[in-house]
Amino acid sequence: MSAGQAELRQPTPAEFRAFQELVLQDSGIWLSEMKKALLAGRLARRLRELGLHTFTEYHERVSTDPVERVQMIDLLCTHETHFFREPHQFEHIEQVLLPQLRAEADAGRHSRRIRAWSAACSSGEEPFSLAMLLLSVFPPGSGWSIDILASDLSTRILERARAAVWPLARSSEIPPPYLKRFMLRGVGKEEGRMKACPELRQLVRFERINLKDDSYPVEAPFDLILCRNVLIYFQAAEKLRVVGRFARLLSPHGCLYLGHSESLLGTTSALEAVGPNTYALPGAATSGTRRAS
């Protein structure tokens, strides 16, 4: 802290409520009272950068400045992800969903194109895990094409995901055959890092999408949608609205994959459970894959 600079005080209850409402309105994310320290910690540096002295001043700024509001949401978003997180869901994709889609294509009821959406992709581990799996099942020359959309609310994290560079320590999360085939090891100034190979990077495109919006700027349908550990931050009504929009974007045999603490059991008739936190349109899955979650 520079000489003469006053220490930034913590937000008052009224200031915190004002940010709660603004973040909810803008993103659908509900900041519980337990997040007060998180909000203060993540926004304090930005207030100092702008020369502001109170959270009320910053609230006035973001209320009228849409660019700064995006910056605020970027700072408040939590980005926790891993390669091949929830491995049982990747097993479901490989052993159940993809064979089903292949059979549908062989019967002339599905194109030989796989379309996937990693919603809330964070720093890219999830969509690139999916790309590794899909490219292994449907390699070049197989007659299949792969299209993966990766989106997030944070523009800052999307830039990191688009770069497709991670610490080499994350390599332990990737199965060795995939690691050898798809990841490039950094040398020289890039030592200690790894990067997805060009073949992998060309499969994934990135867009900023707000899941709270009434509609999404995407091309339907999708054969699989991954949206893990995001809906836990939404209130119940908003969560169901998002799930309803996902359901309308699924192909007839498509699946929605949620996080381990995001069960839809007993909350909606738009989708039915076909695996742990894995959902499909009613009647779409084969009876052998149907199970409660």
- Rounded CA-CA distance 93/177 in Å is 18
| From 26, 42, 61, 147, the catalytic residue | 42
The tokens describing 77, both together, are: 């978003």
What is the three-class DSSP state of 68?
helix
CA dihedral over 128, 223, 112, 93, signed as positive or negative: positive
Q: Reduced to 3 states, what is the DSSP secondary structure of residue 272?
A: strand
Dist. CA 255–CA 285, nearest whole Å: 9
Q: Does 106 qualify as catalytic in the annotation?
A: no
Tokens coding 176: 């060795």
- Catalytic-role residue among 74, 85, 115, 152: 152
17 part of the active site: no
Alpha carbon distance 268, 258 (integer Å)? 14
- Backbone φ and ψ of 24, nearest 5°: -60, -45
For 82, half-sphere exposure in the C-beta direction (CA atoms, 13 angstrom radius) is: 13
Q: How many residues does the chain have?
A: 293
d(CA 192, CA 158): 22
Residue 216 to residues 24, 102, 243: CA-CA distances in angstroms? Answer: 18, 27, 13
Strand partners, 250: 222
Asked if 257 and 287 touch (Cβ cutoff 8 Å), the reply is no
Q: What are phi and psi of 253, to 5 degrees?
A: -110, 15
What does R_g of the chain's alpha carbons equal in angstroms? 21
**Annotated catalytic sites, by residue?**
42, 152
